[in-house]
DNA sequence: CGCTAACCGAGACGGTACGTCCCGTCTTTAC
DNA sequence: GTAAAGACGGGACGTACCGTCTCGGTTAGCG
């Protein structure tokens, strides 16, 4: 059971590089993303960068893992109504998709995922986890009869989809004010 | 009365370059899009390419215009039920998003639109037109009472959004078989 | 026996181009000499330039012909002493090699002559004519006994050579004040 | 006491590039001198060339340093008569100017010196050193009374000048057979 | 506590693509 | 019918990064 304790220098370098990569991604976009800049930004030799990631897309994927923080699971005792929970989640997504750290990188991510399996894995997993929270909330609402009996998976896709659609295929991303109307359409109007 | 007929050489070059640019975009994505490759692909001198477009993004935008073909408006006399019309449109989109000519450039397009206003204009306009057909169909259905009274715009976004969502944020694009289920969720189950 | 009367436009173009070529040569040197610039300078289409000269070196050579004006032959009745005549010629050369129109072009000419037979022909001929005046003067002086019995050809080469040597192989071209000293060395001191 | 030992790769590249530059200069002249060709000739990446010299003229100047080898000073004990020494030097020059390594680059050198101070410094220095040997020999001869009392500097210029003149301004460079005649003219006939 | 192995930065290396400039040839249009 | 305009393929320019590599210099942790 040898605990290969990691060299602290390695830890330091990796950390600095991941942060630098994220910053570079946000600033320069995915096109325009330069390994050189990342290394400089991190105050690290270019060779050190390549020692840890010889694939720029893996670097990007790893850097994005840091964003991979789930919105807190609801306190099961909190007994929030399903519809409210859905509104919370969607409002959060609506915001994240415009102002969050992922926002800056979103179009690049969509593109990169089409080029690299590693990025695709990350991105699909990330999306799946986000979506799952929505599915759970809808499922709960359907089970308690609070919501009409929709297919929760399909409904979650429609709801999330609308948010991303407005962000990526139109010039006006969804606003918080429009979220209730969206929920009405998919889950039925508030009783 | 001068007809300023354009130099045929110019016509030939422009055409070849636009086609090449589209092919390059589909194959290499937006990052990885190389002016050099486009010129070679078009069998045209590199300087000729730069003579016509010294901005890669304008080239991409111009190249995409070729995709800008309207789906035929429905024959108003055809009297197709609204739900069927929606299913037709969505099934077509589901397919287009995976196999159509746009499919190949879709992720690149999303990325490029984030970099260039010209590309964004094209892409948003293109999406808006597609969406409008859906909005029209839903509106008609709601007016005749055939569909439940949803906000047609929101509904169209949810439906289109789901299709793009599955294409870009998951590893399993929506299949034709899943379309009816999706429509059930948003427009209510078939009576 | 038709006298192909020359198109006046052609005359005009040729003239403008030759002047422009000379100016360009003086300004940009032989390296840096651009056909494009010459055409622009002459206010003439680039194709017009190539119609008349498809070889840049021929253009240069032709442009230089304009400089090919002989210093006036001495009035034979003027009876200038040979030594004075030599001093006149050398002083003129000393000046021409620094301030004259040829001066600007001199190093380029030497170089170009090594690359192009056409330029070499011009340049060698030009030099020969200049030198001949010197040879004639020296020959006359030797014949009259005014100068010591030197080989006039060799002497002319030594005198001219010294002037060019100082211009091209040192950073201090020969000055007018140094000319008499030079003549002393080659033709013997003034009696 | 750090010996900052130079990277052997750098040494190798620089050496190869300098040789290639000289060869290119000899072959293509100064105009026609192509950085690209130099890199190819040296079997070195183009970027490596630019890493070391981003200025073509500095490259040329550096490349010429290799020619900068002094002709052996005469053995002072050798007691060669001044006239013989002069003949030796001039014959050597006559040959060097046609067949030597400098010969190949001579016209290019004259031109390049007019463009670049660095090249000019090299070239003028090089010429000065060559000339000095001649000046020394003549001075010695004048002091011993072996030669008539000429200005040694002027005489050296006339002698060297004649050699270069014949090489650069005529189509028949001076031959060894003509050297004695030249010396006769400048230093007086052999007693 | 000193040695060895790893990790480090610096940066050279051969490349590729960039966007610009000019080449010399050519076609088209205007006078 | 000639000239001007300018498109064409081509090639070199000098720059920026790429990903690989060699180089000494440090630093860590094991023995």
CA distance linking residue C128 with residue C135, whole number of Å? 10
C-alpha closest to that of A109 among A60, A144, A143? A60
Give chains near C: 3+ CB pairs under 8 A: D
Q: How confident is the model at residue C163 (pLDDT cuts 50, 70, 90)?
A: very high
What is the percentage of chain A residues whose pLDDT exceeds 70? 91
Q: Measure A183 CA to nearest chain B CA, in Å.
A: 9
Residue C102 forms contact with D (CB below 8 Å): no
Here the tokens at position C171 are 């950073």
Residues 6+ apart with CB under 8 A from A39: A17, A20, A45, A46, A48, A49
pLDDT above 70 as % of chain B: 92
Q: What is the distance in angstroms measured between the alpha-carbon CA of D8 and the sugar C1' of F22?
A: 10
Task: Look at residue D1 and tell me whether its pLDDT is greater than 50.
Answer: no
Evaluate if residue B29 carries a pLDDT over 70. Answer: yes
Q: Looking at per-residue confidence, does D120 or D69 come out higher?
A: D120
Q: Which chains touch A (3 or more CB pairs under 8 A)?
A: B
Over 70: is that where the pLDDT of A70 sits?
Answer: no
Per CB-CB distance under 8 Å, the chain B contacts of A29 are 114-115
pLDDT digits (tens, 9 = 90+) for B51-63: 999 888 899 989 9
User: Per-residue pLDDT for D3 more than 70?
Assistant: no
C178 has a chain D CB within 8 A of its CB:
yes
Q: pLDDT > 90: what percent of chain B?
A: 71
Q: How far apart are CA B25 and CA B116, in angstroms?
A: 15
C31 with D160: Cβ contact below 8 A:
no
How many Å apart are CA A153 and CA A139, to the nearest integer? 9
Closest CA to C111 of D33, D100, D106: D106
What are the backbone dihedrals phi and psi of residue C14, each rounded to the nearest 5 degrees, phi first?
-55, -45
The contacts of residue D179 (CB under 8 Å, 6+ apart) are D87, D90, D91, D94
How far does the CA of B33 sit from the C1' of E27, in Å? Answer: 32
| Ramachandran angles phi, psi of A117, nearest 5° | -65, -35
- DSSP secondary structure string, B42-67? HT--HHHHHHH-S-HHHHHHHHHGGG
**pLDDT at residue C1 tops 50:** no
Provide the chain B residues 32-51 that lie in CB contact (below 8 A) with chain A: 32
Over residues D102-115, mean pLDDT: 90
Q: What is the pLDDT of residues A126-182, one digit of tens each?
A: 999 999 999 999 999 999 999 999 999 999 999 999 999 999 999 999 999 999 999
* Other Cβ atoms within 10 Å of A147 Cβ, number: 24
- Percentages helix, strand, coil for chain B (3-state, rounded to 5) are 70, 0, 30
Angle among Cα C89, C95, C96 to the nearest 5 degrees reads 85
Which long-range CB contacts under 8 A does A36-45 form with residues at least 24 apart? A42/A13, A42/A16, A42/A17, A43/A16, A44/A13, A44/A16, A44/A17, A44/A20
**Per-residue pLDDT, A132:** 95
D120 to chain C, any CB pair closer than 8 A? The answer is yes
How many of the other CB atoms lie within 10 Å of CB of C171? 15
pLDDT in tens, C66-88: 776 655 666 666 678 999 999 99
A187 SS3 class: helix
- Contact check, Cβ <8 Å, C184/D154: yes
The Å distance, CA of C186 to C1' of E3, is: 80
> Residues of chain D with pLDDT > 70: what percent?
92
Give D164 or A189, the one with higher predicted confidence: D164
Please judge whether B171 and A124 are an interchain contact, meaning their C-beta atoms are less than 8 angstroms apart: yes
pLDDT at C126 over 50: yes
**Mean pLDDT estimate for chain B:** 90
A2, pLDDT greater than 60: no
C106, C168 contact by CB (below 8 A): yes
Most confident by average pLDDT, A54-63, B7-16, C119-128, C142-151: C142-151
**Is D153 or C108 the better-scoring residue by pLDDT?**
D153
Q: What are the tens digits of pLDDT across the range A118-137? A: 789 889 999 999 999 999 99
Q: Determine, for residues A182 and B29 on separate chains, whether the beta-carbon distance falls below 8 Å.
A: no
Closest CA to A152 of A86, A105, A103: A86
Q: Which of A25-29, B45-49, C19-23 bottoms out in mean pLDDT, i.e. has the lowest?
A: A25-29
Give me the residue from D32, D171, D185 closest to C151, CB to CB.
D185
Across the range C99-124, mean pLDDT stands at: 85
With cut-offs at 50, 70 and 90, classify the pLDDT of residue A57. confident
Q: Which residues of C touch D150 (CB under 8 A)?
A: 184-185
pLDDT of residue A64: 79
Alpha-helical segments (H) within chain A? 8-28, 35-42, 46-52, 56-65, 82-96, 101-115, 117-143, 152-169, 179-187
Which bases on strand E have an atom closer than 7 Å to a protein beta carbon?
Answer: 6-30
> Which residue carries 């001199």 as its tokens?
C106
pLDDT range class, residue B2, cuts 50, 70, 90 = very low
Of A65-69, C116-120, C137-141, D47-51, least confident by mean pLDDT is A65-69
Least CB–CB distance from A186: residue in B120, B158, B160: B158
Residue D42 has pLDDT above 80, yes or no: yes
Collect all residues of chain B within an 8 Å Cβ-Cβ radius of residue A123. Answer: 169
CB contact under 8 A, D165 and C168: no
Residue B48 contacts residue B90 (beta carbons within 8 Å): no
Contact B107 A114 (CB under 8 A): yes
Partner A contacted by B164 (CB < 8 A)? yes
Nearest CA in chain B to A189: B150
Candidates D158, D163, D169; nearest CB to C159: D158
Q: What is the mean pLDDT of chain C?
A: 87
Cα–Cα distances (Å) from A97 to A101, A103, A157, A168, A173, in that order, read 9, 5, 15, 10, 8
Inter-residue long-range contacts of B46-51, CB under 8 Å, 24+ positions, other chains counted = B48/B13, B48/B17, B49/B17
Find all residues with CB under 8 Å of C139, minimum gap 6, and list them.
C152
Q: What is the mean pLDDT of chain A?
A: 88
Binary contact (B127, A170; C-beta < 8 A): yes
Is D163 near chain C, with CB under 8 Å? Answer: yes
Chain pair C-D, CB pairs under 8 angstroms: 135
Distance CA A60, CA A113 (A): 11
Q: Distance between CA atoms of B51 and B42, rounded to whole angstroms?
A: 14
Q: Exposed, middle or buried by CB within 10 Å (0-12, 13-18, 19+), for D96?
A: middle
Under DSSP, is residue C94 helix (H, G, I), strand (E, B) or coil?
helix
Q: Rounded to whole angstroms, how far apart are CA atoms C137 and C131? A: 10
Q: Give the pLDDT of residue D9.
A: 85
- Residue B3: the pLDDT is 46
Lookup: nucleotide whose C1' is closest to B4 CA = E29
| The model's pTM | 0.83
Give the model's pLDDT for residue D74.
66
Give D57 CA → F14 C1' in Å: 14
Interface check for D170 against chain C (CB to CB < 8 A): the answer is yes
Please indicate if any CB of chain B lies within 8 Å of the CB of A30. Answer: yes
Q: What is the average per-residue pLDDT within D76-102?
A: 90
The predicted model gives B150-171 an average pLDDT of: 98
Q: What is the DSSP string of D112-179?
A: HHHH-HHHHHHHHHHHHHHHHHHHHHHHHHHHTTSS----HHHHHHHHHHHHHHHHHSSSSPPPGGGH
Inter-residue contact B182 to B159 (CB < 8 Å): yes
Please say whether the beta carbons of C19 and C54 come within 8 A: no
B5 pLDDT higher than 60: no
How far apart (Å, rounded) are the C-alpha atoms in residues B167 and B173? 4
- Residue D8 near residue C92 (C-beta atoms within 8 A): no
């Amino acid at each position: 059971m040898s605990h290969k304790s990691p060299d602290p220098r390695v830890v330091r370098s990796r950390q600095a590089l991941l942060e630098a990569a994220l910053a570079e991604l946000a600033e320069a976009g995915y096109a325009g993303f330069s390994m050189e800049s990342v290394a400089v930004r991190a105050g690290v030799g270019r060779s050190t960068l390549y020692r840890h990631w010889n694939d720029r897309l893996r670097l990007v994927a790893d850097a994005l893992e840091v964003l991979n923080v789930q919105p807190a699971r609801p306190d099961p005792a909190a007994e929030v109504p399903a519809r409210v929970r859905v509104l919370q989640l969607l409002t959060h997504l609506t915001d994240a998709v415009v102002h969050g750290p992922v926002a800056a990188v979103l179009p690049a991510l969509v593109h990169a995922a089409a080029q690299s399996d590693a990025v695709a894995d990350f991105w699909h997993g990330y999306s799946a986890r986000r979506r799952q929270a929505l599915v759970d909330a809808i499922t709960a609402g359907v089970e308690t009869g609070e919501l009409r009996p929709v297919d929760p998976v399909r409904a979650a896709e429609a709801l999330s989809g609308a948010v991303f659609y407005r962000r990526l295929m139109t010039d006006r991303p969804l606003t918080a004010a429009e979220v209730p109307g969206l929920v009405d359409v998919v889950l039925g109007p508030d009783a």
